[in-house]
């Protein structure tokens, strides 16, 4: 398979270029294409997922073990190519001093809906160009190795904190993929540029990054504030989580690739809700279920139910 269209069918190369252009017009950047079944790098990532599951690092996230995650063909029989897209969610805004912290991905509208809607537009466009082509839009709720395929398509590399890092965007990227039965020329997989840096590993207050590229969910503040359904959080998590009540960005905040000047997203779907940057514990703890429902309408944070929301705030002591 030629890279970047070199030696590829000129018709397929022009279709790939037009598809990427359509993706950029929908607000995605970076964009890239991987060919199925992928390179040896993808096989290494698949094996690494198997080891991570064998160590039970997924904790209660049973869906990570879905066997389809390791076989892209099960998501779309006959799949030939994967268009990977990134949506920049970095907004140059600061939360008020002393306020509670919410992970950046939860500042705006639910990214699952935002990306899915735009990918479906892209799929319909591809179908118009190639009648009979089959496609499937995937956001991170689909059983797909999304970061591995984004790396394969050249969007960036998987960092030691297990997030995808783009040279230009840092790690503030929400990922989506358009699987299709259309053969397309593949881009060059991204090379890792983490080098000897261990900033993310050193900064994690709960030592959740047990070794480079391996995150133990049972120690991760983001996992516990979002996925843990128990009435109380484990004491070591509660002791270390302040001021985070919904997700955690520490390992991304310290990454040198996020310390460079970054373009702030002007996408209306990604702008922070008015309360997000000035979330006060005493007020938020006493939101009624109705006011919680209103504030978190069409938000990815709805995954944290009101009881967990209050538990997280109370855990800060």
- What tokens were used for 101? 């912290």
Candidates 64, 72, 20; CA nearest to 42 is: 72
CA atoms of 292 and 302, how far apart (whole Å): 9
Q: What is the DSSP string of 55-105?
A: TTTTTT-GGGG-GGGG-GGGTSTT--EEEEEEEE------PPTT-BEE-GG
Candidates 257, 307, 258, 254; CA nearest to 285 is: 307
CA atoms of 96 and 106, how far apart (whole Å): 16
Residues assigned a catalytic role: 140
Instruction: Compute φ and ψ for 135, nearest 5 degrees.
Output: -145, 165
Q: With 0-12 CB in 10 A as exposed, 13-18 as middle and 19+ as buried, what is 260?
A: exposed
Please state the domain extents for the chain: 10-92+108-180, 199-315
CA atoms of 212 and 25, how far apart (whole Å): 36
- Quick one: pLDDT at residue 239? 96
> In Å, what is the CA distance from 296 to each residue of 96, 266, 272, 301?
19, 21, 12, 7
- Quick one: pLDDT at residue 63? 65
CA atoms of 231 and 315, how far apart (whole Å): 10
280: number of Cβ within 10 Å: 13
- Quick one: pLDDT at residue 146? 92
- Quick one: pLDDT at residue 8? 59
Give me the residues paired with residue 136 across strands: 179
DSSP at 136: E
CA atoms of 317 and 315, how far apart (whole Å): 5
Q: What is the pLDDT along the chain (317 residues), one digit of tens a residue?
A: 334 444 558 799 999 999 999 999 999 999 999 999 998 888 888 888 888 778 777 777 776 777 777 789 989 999 999 999 999 999 999 999 999 999 999 999 999 999 999 999 999 999 999 999 999 999 987 888 899 999 999 999 999 999 999 999 999 999 999 999 999 999 999 999 999 999 999 999 999 999 888 889 889 999 999 999 999 999 999 999 999 999 999 999 999 999 999 999 999 999 999 899 999 999 999 999 999 999 999 999 999 999 999 999 999 97
Q: Are 309 and 117 in contact (CB under 8 A)?
A: no
SS3 147: helix
- Quick one: pLDDT at residue 235? 96
């Amino acid at each position: 398979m030629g890279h970047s269209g070199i030696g590829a069918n000129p018709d397929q190369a022009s279709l790939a270029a037009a598809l990427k252009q359509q993706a950029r017009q929908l607000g995605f950047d970076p964009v890239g294409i991987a060919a199925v079944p992928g390179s040896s790098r993808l096989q290494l990532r698949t094996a690494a997922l198997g080891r991570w599951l064998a160590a039970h690092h997924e904790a209660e996230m049973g869906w990570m073990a879905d066997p389809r995650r390791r076989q892209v063909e099960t998501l779309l029989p006959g799949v030939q190519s994967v268009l990977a897209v990134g949506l920049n969610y970095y907004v140059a805004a600061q939360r008020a001093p002393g306020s509670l912290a919410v992970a950046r991905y939860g500042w705006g509208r639910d990214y699952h809906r935002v990306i899915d809607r735009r990918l479906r537009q892209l799929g319909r466009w591809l179908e118009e160009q190639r009648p009979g082509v089959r496609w499937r839009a995937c956001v991170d709720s689909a059983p797909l190795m999304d970061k591995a395929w984004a790396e394969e398509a050249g969007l960036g590399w998987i960092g030691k904190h297990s997030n995808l890092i783009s040279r230009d965007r840092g790690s503030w990227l929400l990922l989506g993929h358009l699987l299709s039965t259309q053969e397309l020329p593949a881009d060059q997989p991204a090379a890792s540029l983490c080098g000897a840096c261990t900033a993310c590993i050193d900064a994690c207050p709960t030592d959740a990054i047990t070794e480079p590229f391996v995150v133990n969910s049972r120690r991760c503040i983001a996992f516990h504030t979002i996925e843990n359904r128990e009435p109380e959080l484990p004491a070591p998590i509660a002791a270390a989580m302040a001021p985070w009540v919904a997700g955690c960005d520490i390992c991304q905040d310290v990454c040198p690739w996020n310390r460079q000047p970054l373009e702030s997203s002007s996408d209306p779907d990604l702008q922070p809700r008015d309360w997000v940057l000035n979330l006060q514990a005493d007020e938020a703890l006493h939101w009624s279920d109705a006011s919680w429902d209103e504030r978190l309408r069409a938000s990815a944070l709805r995954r944290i139910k009101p009881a967990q929301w209050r538990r997280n705030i109370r855990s800060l002591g």
